[in-house]
Amino acid sequence: MKILKSPVFLICCILFVLHQVPWKGFSVSIPGIDSFLDSFLAMPLILTLLVAERRLLFKRGENYRLSGLEVGIATLFIAFFSEILFPLFSEKFIGDWWDLLFYSLGSLLFYFTINPFQGKSSMKHEQ
């Protein structure tokens, strides 16, 4: 599937792994990076996998893309759960409103690079 080979998606995956392995595996901490990199990378990763899932399982076709509204709703959904709901149920989660900025920036990265508008045909669902 073409979208999973996007250079931006692959770079996000690599950055995520390069950050998580030293941080969680070896307790190597870089304060600014630890606080916001995952929030920034979350949306390009999640949204790319969402498009891939819709293309594969729902047969939307290789030109299927998410609308700006869908990207915005997904961003708010992830922010609500991770910054409001999860912290209510577990002390392991900390709500941080700065993360909303980084979720939004990651969503913009996805929208303009991985999910670019390619003309009128990309908005139609291929049957």
Q: How far apart are CA 38 and CA 99, in angstroms?
A: 9
Query: Is the overall model pTM greater than 0.85, yes or no?
Result: yes
Q: Determine the average pLDDT of the residues in 108-119.
A: 87
Assign 33 a pLDDT band (cuts: 50, 70, 90).
Answer: very high
Give the orientation angle of helix 68-80 with respect to helix 98-109, to 10 degrees.
150
Contact between 75 and 107 under an 8 Å Cβ cutoff? The reply is: yes
Q: Is 115 helix (H, G, I), strand (E, B) or coil?
A: coil
Q: Tokens in use for 111?
A: 């929208």
